Amino acid sequence: MKNNMLTAPLLIELLVEELPPKALSKLGQSFTQTMREQLLALELIEASCAYESFATPRRLAVLFQSVSAQAPEREVKQKLMPVKVGLDQAGQATPALEKKLAALGFANLSVADLDVVLEGATEHLWLTRMQPGVSLQSGAQKALNEAIAKLPIPKVMSYQLHENCDLPGWSSVNFVRPVHALLAMHGQEVLDLTALGLKAGNATKGHRFEAQKADIVVSNAASYEEVLMKEGAVMASYAKRRQRIEELLNAAAKSLGPAFNVAHDEALLDEVCALVEMPNVLICQFEEEFLQVPQECLILTMKANQKYFPLVDDQGALVNRFLVVSNISPKDTSAVVGGNERVVRPRLSDAKFFFDQDRKMSLKTRAVGLSKVVYHQQLGTQAERTQRVQRIAAGIAQELLVLGKLRVEEAAWIDEAAQIAKVDLLTDMVGEFPELQGVMGQYYALHDGYAKDVAWAVEDHYKPKFAGDTLPRGMTGVVLALADKLETLVGLFAIGQMPTGDKDPYALRRHAIGVLRLLREKNLGLSVTRLLTLGAAAFDAQAEVIKKSWDEITHALLEFMYDRLSINLRDQDYTSSQIESVLSMRPDVLDDVDLRLKAVRDFVLLPQALSLASANKRIGNILKKVEDLSVGVNIDEALLVEEAEKGLYQTMKEVLPKSTMSFEAKDYAQSLKTLADLKEAVDLFFEKVMVNAPEENLRLNRLSLLSRLHGAMNQVADLSRLA
């Protein structure tokens, strides 16, 4: 865009009451991005225009460094009408054309100034004119309106405008929070913009308590951030404020000694950044006696309830110090520190009380209470669910014992862990902090004298909880995690509660990915189909609520899991065709899916790969059309009459055993690489030999030759998918 118009920084700010902290980052990003998109579309800024987004608890703002006062004029072409309608036989304008031009404001335009364009078989008259660019005044108003309309507001509130509002037609507003002022400046000029019942000015407010003056006047758009910092005690940039908080936290921790570290939490850091305009970090402490409570409880209550940052030592153990990010910086911090220490003490006392009370009753004794907790209206109670998980876990354990991947004592531990895995849901601690389910079960299991593997499994059977989460520590936890996730998937699919679109209320996609990760990363050698069969067998008592056949249910679930696996693999640098070539064969054991994919990725780099993939696809299409049941893989050498088919057969005798040997050794890359030696013989065969020979015996023999070749080529993956 070439534009010599006057340019200057553009600043837009909405001054509001405290915004929802968990939404602030997205609100700031959306406001800035929509403004930028609109100004770009109107050609008021270049794509390279530098900009900065600002978001604090009390404001959303954006500053563009170089914005034109007027967008450049641009050429606009407009179709008018067919030539035969617009011009008479003498080539002069008809009344219809004169009327059209007059309506467009070009009554005095000559016919010679119009263009004639042939479209298909018809000639049309076109008008080419220069259209003035939009002014910043109207362009910025449009951009602001769009930016406000597209804000991802979590919940709208309605409020009455101030009685001094003099914009006609405005009495109340619907917005995320009440807006108190609109600031809009282009360089040193105030733009005449309006929004949410307010007129733009050049004044804003600083920090509620730390600002030097009540009203902060911005004399130049470019000085906004500096003036707010100097006179208003506000760090307007969300990103800079977040970075500053992180620096202050680390510095405060290290001031206590090199062994002290901040228990960082990105979500908490975002939330705290959205709660303060000028951060100040203070060091507080609590009584050491609370460290007897599991640190997960203390950390959670400090983070979730108080927005504090706990401190840990070099081994990750909690210490009795924590950090507070304050929005004020008093000379004497003792009152603030003391206040926060008093506030956290009851929270920690509650956690200690819950922990002490919970340990007075063993998990085994509590387990009877699961029969009173509804899991799902159609699938019964948590006690019934526990029984199903036990059955599935026992079946998986038996499979692994046969495969030699599980010890006998581990099978007993699995059953013990399955019995108590859900019991901590009945405890006071988990009732107060549901996020600690499993974690507290582990502590209580150890307190009750269960083996370490059993206690670990109680916590780990929820894993993986999210992308990138760790997997269970031992085989006991692995089997229980598999059983728990399979019970959820099979049961909910059986009653028709499958995910739809972006709705997945039971997190079945996450459960499926968990099963897939466990199978792939733990190399269990288990059949997916067999696992689903074990899952289905556990639901015999729920037969009356299951309307479909188990064949339909398991087939739908199997397709669902392969679909999740396909999506998951796309994030691992494989192409869609490579993934499809492996998964279209529906591998029942998933341990070697990654090995197959790596082999396919290497294979496609070979110069012979495309030709072989195309040939494989051609063979598959030929064989699909064959209805003769006598076609197999047995080849009669006496019926090989053409030199090209004899050559292919001899090459196959040399190449296929080598490829199969590598395949059986799970050296899939070498297996596919060996197939590259088939290229010339396959190409020559299709060039010289007619497969559908008129003689039935020759035709069937050639089809058998291709059938054997097709099967051997597709052991690792369906190569036709790469064509």
In tens, the pLDDT along 550-578 reads: 899 999 999 999 999 999 998 888 999 99
CA dist 610 and 61 (Å) reads 54
The mean predicted confidence, pLDDT, of the chain is 92
Sequence-ordered list of residues with C-beta below 8 angstroms from that of 510, at least 6 positions apart, any chain = 465, 466, 504
Residue 506 C-alpha from the chain's centroid: 17
CA dist 424 and 438 (Å) reads 7
pLDDT at 5 over 70: no
How many Cβ atoms sit within 10 Å of the Cβ of residue 163?
A: 5
The reply to whether 365-572 and 603-722 are identical in fold is no
Stretch 588-609: mean pLDDT: 92
pLDDT at residue 492 in the model: 95
- Residue 617 is encoded by which pair of tokens? 């696809």
**Domain residue spans in the chain?**
7-71+135-232, 74-131, 238-358, 365-572, 603-722
Please write the tens of the pLDDT for every residue from 96-136. Answer: 998 988 888 888 888 888 888 988 888 999 988 777 888 99
Stretch 449-477: mean pLDDT: 95
**Residue in 313, 22, 6 with CA at minimum distance from that of residue 153:** 22
* pLDDT classification of 1: cutoffs 50, 70, 90: very low
pLDDT at 266 over 60: yes
* pLDDT classification of 4: cutoffs 50, 70, 90: very low
Which contiguous run of DSSP H or E holds residue 387? Answer: helix 382-403
Domain at 603-722, CATH class: mainly alpha
DSSP letters of 189-248? EEP--EETTEEEESEE---TTT-SSSSEE-SSGGGHHHHHHHHH-----HHHHHHHHHHH
CA dist 284 and 516 (Å) reads 44
pLDDT at residue 169 in the model: 62
CA dist 562 and 539 (Å) reads 23
pLDDT at 601 over 50: yes
Which CATH code for domain 365-572? 1.10.3210
Specify which residues 81 forms β-bridges with: 125
Distances, alpha carbon 663 to alpha carbons 46, 365, 592, 671, 712, in Å: 57, 53, 11, 5, 10
Which contiguous run of DSSP H or E holds residue 321? Answer: strand 318-326
Sequence-ordered list of residues with C-beta below 8 angstroms from that of 151, at least 6 positions apart, any chain = 27, 30, 31, 176
- Residue 243 is encoded by which pair of tokens? 């970075």
- Residue 347 is encoded by which pair of tokens? 């929270």
Query: 103-107, 209-213, 480-484, 540-544: which range is least confident on average?
Result: 540-544
Please write the tens of the pLDDT for every residue from 54-67. Answer: 999 999 999 999 99
3-state SS assignment for residue 323: strand
pLDDT at 355 over 90: yes
Stretch 448-464: mean pLDDT: 97
Contact 233, 227 (CB under 8 A): no
The pLDDT > 90 percentage for the chain reads 79
pLDDT at residue 2 in the model: 40
pLDDT at residue 478 in the model: 97
pLDDT at residue 468 in the model: 87
Please write the tens of the pLDDT for every residue from 372-382. Answer: 999 999 999 99
**Residue in 365, 411, 415, 426 with CA at minimum distance from that of residue 387:** 415
* pLDDT classification of 168: cutoffs 50, 70, 90: low
Which contiguous run of DSSP H or E holds residue 524? Answer: none
Query: 120-134, 284-298, 306-320, 486-500: which range is least confident on average?
Result: 120-134
Reported pTM: 0.81
Which of 287-322 are b and which e, b meaning 16 or more Cβ less than 10 Å from the residue's Cβ?
eeebbebbbbbbbbbbbeeeebbbbbeeeeebbbbb
pLDDT at residue 166 in the model: 58
Specify which residues 123 forms β-bridges with: 118
